[in-house]
Structure 1
């Protein structure tokens, strides 16, 4: 019996054919065939083309004797584990498939000529996957017939062939249709289960490797609660003989962590372990769930359990999770120690490793360490991705390094404009805090990228202040009106004083009066400076009656007169020759015990 298996190495894609005895027994011929899309090997230079009557031993013999084989790196433990799982599928060939094979005329010929295999040019145990090659030097190897039942091959194909592409495209289309129907259902509705029972069973049985459910879970990633209903449905099916896959458990654990249901994530993990589905990816999924929900201790405990396992071991993803946890907690010593351990284990850090390091230093506001890590990343020949530049952009904005912030923004501005509105707000904040001469122009350009409905109170108040500082009265009032519209209350004294100062410099007393009325109604921070400024501006326009009425307004807001209030009245009366009122004010100052300069006393 023949099964088509797939195995990925770092440099090439190997497709293996295992020929099995239909009456039972171990595999006794295995041929390794290299797919033509790899630039590392040229098949014609490794082995001659196969003819229908040639032995399957020729390609593997030439491949093992090729000096180019030495350039293949040893597969990782995850790859080896996947290969083991693929081989197990060969041992579990159904009786139906065996019957189809035996009924096919001429597949195994009892009169086939026996051929003696050519021995390996080097010991088999030097090859990384020697454990998968059994009885290669057996005495007999019957040749296969070129006519092989396609329905049997389909049962064991892990990677689609050209002939199967239509089937897989059709399957993906059906999964997408089912997803669209599910997206029209509420997350908490039981209608999803009924729809899955109606259409999901047929779809699931159309593929033997569990592709539909895994793909459906991926497509429902934006609706994690709905995706978990799909997983529950599949778990119930497993009770009736449809097994759960490691990929399904992995995706389910991640989804549970995403909805902050750590209990469900741990339950799925335990269920997988009890079924002896124990892989590095499942451990990593639960560690990620713990990480995103703040369970750092549980994450580290799970990591220690993982290191004690014999069937799986930590990989670079595992260490990336640890680095992320330590960075979030600002445990920088632990974060750096984890990175050193990666180097000691001869693991290759990837772009996510450096991104998590940079994120950790950003959390601690260690700008120099951010720069050093970024330089190390470039020296290690790892190309920064969009996420890297987004982190740098945020760091430069928070540190006030506008020059580098603008340089980084130019590299990824198309992405930021479409998907990263929070970064745009961070840049606006940086400009608001800077002394850049063109900061208002740059702020206005960035504000155009933010949708009107995407309102943030803190940003609105920050804009009020910067417009007030620059005396952009129209823009300031527009932002103030927006704050009133969204019921934003300002309680910061410095912001209120900036508004007052702007009205004073622009000599807009009537606008100030309207603002004070609105601020009182909206319960903003009310201070004496508002009323003192109004009194001074009324006095400058010789509107003394309105100036005097401000005293009553202050009393209504439980703001009693102070020495400064009386001085404003005195100066105004003295300026316009109302000496008797000025003397009354001096009397009030004496009454309240305020010190009076000698030069203002009547002669």
Structure 2
């Protein structure tokens, strides 16, 4: 089991591409590359990964117990070495750790290079550290344990992650002269894309197409699909996909997931669902990542019924690991008219820890509670927002808060909120003060109603026709006709009244 465990772990630690993208010019030649793509369909790879797949598909005579124990020991020692290296504070001073662990001898116990690849894979979280280890590994290389193209590919990728594209290009130039492997081109494309150098990425792709020693792989085209998808160049992405299909190259799981992710980014919901349906009907079935993408798409599109069905398929995974998706679902409920939305929101909120606080979500929930008349819960969130220095900048949220206080006639609580909002720098609006005046007038607190005029003046809110109408109605309601007529005269003075404005006394 030892060697198989080592190699299976390597296969599972596949390189994934996460890039920053910008718009690219149309690659017209890409859509006419069916013959080129067919070259890949008949091309076999001689790298360790393909050899290992053959090993798993056609197992040979089982290894002896001594070999198994030695391979288990290598796996354990490589993992321990990686742990020590990751714990190092200075990535440039690794010699003591490598020497104490006997790293050179350890790697030589795996002459096929699988231990070295595993070590580099385990160091992925710290690319600068991984590059230092690769530099040491390069010095260790000899005829008995030469560097593999996959090791160069990892180093190129690490250089890209470390924002050192010049080093990535140098490593590529060094390796491509010795190896004709698509993984080297793919790694350099990834490095350029990660750093936003998309034109250089396309140039590398063109170089690969022109290299007679090898051809693009499905991984290469997956990179292009992702590039065009995240750039919202959906037509370009679909042209690449048609070329792959016309060449008879089977789509991989990553191909489908990349295309679905692009449709989610572009908010192209019908094509998103069509691609997912094609997966369900075809040989490549959806995985957890696919369902997570669909869940995100349904949440963004506001399709609550399908969102809830998708959530049921990956509930435990989402609850444990996917706080951004939980927030997306909460956002969908907040924007909906679902009668049970508050209960569903609060159920999801249980899976968001305190360190996952997001100001925009806090503000959105304030609005929801305000709209549903849940004043106590609304005030609790307002208090949290003030404590965290969250600022409300939208008039719509402020008006929802006003309406909530108005419906329960809580003028003193409204006055307290306005003072807090003024101090915290929240978005003020004239409606805040008008609502307070109306509520004071309803409670016959006319002196306090007049005091609101001074507050408005302090924040440069000029009196409008509505301001005077509120005061006029308040005086009439309590039978103080003289003051009401005075207010009417002030309206004429400020040009807010006309012959058509008739106050019924």
User: TM-score, normalized by length of structure 1?
Assistant: 0.71
CA contact (8 A) 1:196 1:233 kept: no
1:358 maps to 2:260: yes
Aligned equivalent of 2:121: 218
**Is residue 2:161 matched to residue 1:266?**
no
1:431 is displaced (CA, Å) by 0.8
Residue 404 of structure 1: aligned partner: 306
Higher helix residue share: 2
2:378 is aligned to 476
Could you tell me how far 1:288 is from its partner in structure 2?
A: 2.3
The worse-fitting range, judged by mean Cα deviation, of 171-180 and 236-245 is 236-245
CA 592–520 in structure 1, closer or farther in 2 if over 3 Å, else same: same
Q: Does 1:229 align with 2:132?
A: yes
1:497-576 aligned within 5 A: 497-576=399-478
Q: Deviations over 1:165-195 (max 9, x none)?
A: 1111111211222222223223x55343542
Residue 45 of structure 1: aligned partner? none
State how far apart, in whole Å, the 1-side matches of 2:64 and 2:397 are: 67
Q: Give the match for residue 450 of structure 1.
A: 352
* 1:288-303 to 2 correspondences below 5 Å: 288-303=190-205
Partner of 1:172: 75
> How much has 1:551 moved relative to structure 2?
1.2
* C-alpha spacing 1:375/1:75, structure 2 compared with 1 (3 Å): closer
For 1:41-120, list aligned pairs within 5 A. 77-80=43-46
Cα deviation digits, residues 299-334 of structure 1 (max 9, x gap): 222122112223221121111111111111222222
User: How does 1:274-285 map onto structure 2 within 5 Å?
Assistant: 274=177, 276-285=178-187
1:599 positional shift: 3.8
After superposition, the C-alpha distances for 1:269-318 in whole angstroms (9 at most, x for unaligned) are 122124x1231112222222233333332222212211222322112111
Q: Is the 8 A contact 1:280 1:313 kept in 2?
A: yes
- Aligned CA-pair RMSD: 2.9
Contact 2:176/2:184 (8 A) holds in 1 = no
**2:106 counterpart residue number:** 203
Count of residues in correspondence between the two structures: 459
SS of aligned partner of 1:518? helix
Summarize the Cα distance change of 1:253–1:526 in structure 2 as closer, same or farther, 3 Å threshold. Answer: same
Q: What is the aligned partner in structure 2 of residue 139 from structure 1?
A: none
Output one character per residue of 1:110-153: Cα deviation in whole Å (capped at 9) or x when no partner.
xxxxxxxxxxxxxxxxxxxxxxxxxxxxxxxxxxxxxxxxxxxx
Deviations, residues 514-559 of structure 1 (Å, cap 9, x unaligned): 1111111111111111111111111222222221111111111122
- The CA deviation at 1:234 is 2.4
| 2:86 is equivalent to residue 183 of structure 1 | yes
Match of 1:25 in 2: none
Cross-structure match for 1:430? 332
8 Å CA contact 1:465–1:499 kept in 2: the answer is yes
Matched-pair contact (CA < 8 Å) for 1:355–1:387: yes
Q: Distance between the aligned counterparts of 1:179 and 1:523, measured in 2?
A: 50
Structure 1 residue runs of 5 or longer lacking an equivalent are: 1-7, 9-73, 87-156
Q: Aligned partners of 2:51, 2:405: CA distance in 1, in Å?
A: 75
Change over 3 Å in CA distance of 1:581–1:327 after alignment to 2: same
Distance 1:352 1:189, change over 3 A: closer
The Cα shift of 1:337 comes to 1.7
Find the aligned partners of 1:496 and 1:459 in 2 and give their Cα distance: 15
Q: Cα 1:452–1:533, aligned 2, differ >3 Å: closer, same or farther?
A: same
Whether the aligned pair in 2 keeps the contact of 1:330 and 1:363 (CA below 8 Å) is yes
Q: Give yes or no for the alignment of 1:326 onto 2:231.
A: no
Contact 1:196 1:230 in 2 (8 A): no
Deviation at 1:232, TM superposition (A): 3.0
TM-superposed CA distance for 1:216, in Å, is 1.6
Closer, same or farther: CA 461–236 of 1 in aligned 2, 3 Å: farther
More deviation, 394-403/177-186:
177-186
What TM-score do you get using the length of structure 2 for normalisation?
Answer: 0.84
Question: Which residue in 2 is equivalent to 1:17?
Answer: none
Relative to 1, partners in 2 of residues 1:259 and 1:467: Cα closer, same or farther, differing over 3 Å?
farther
SS at match of 2:66: coil
Deviates more, 1:550-559 or 1:293-302: 293-302
Describe the shift of the 1:598–1:364 C-alpha distance in structure 2 as closer, same or farther (beyond 3 A): closer
C-alpha distance in 2 between matches for 1:193 and 1:511: 66
Which structure would you say has the larger RCO, counting Cα contacts within 8 Å and 6 or more residues apart? Answer: 2
2:148 maps to 1:245: yes
Q: Which has the larger radius of gyration?
A: 1
Residue of structure 1 in register with 2:10 after alignment: none
- Distance in 1, matches of 2:501 and 2:270, equals 59
**Range with greater deviation from structure 2 (203-212 or 475-484):** 203-212
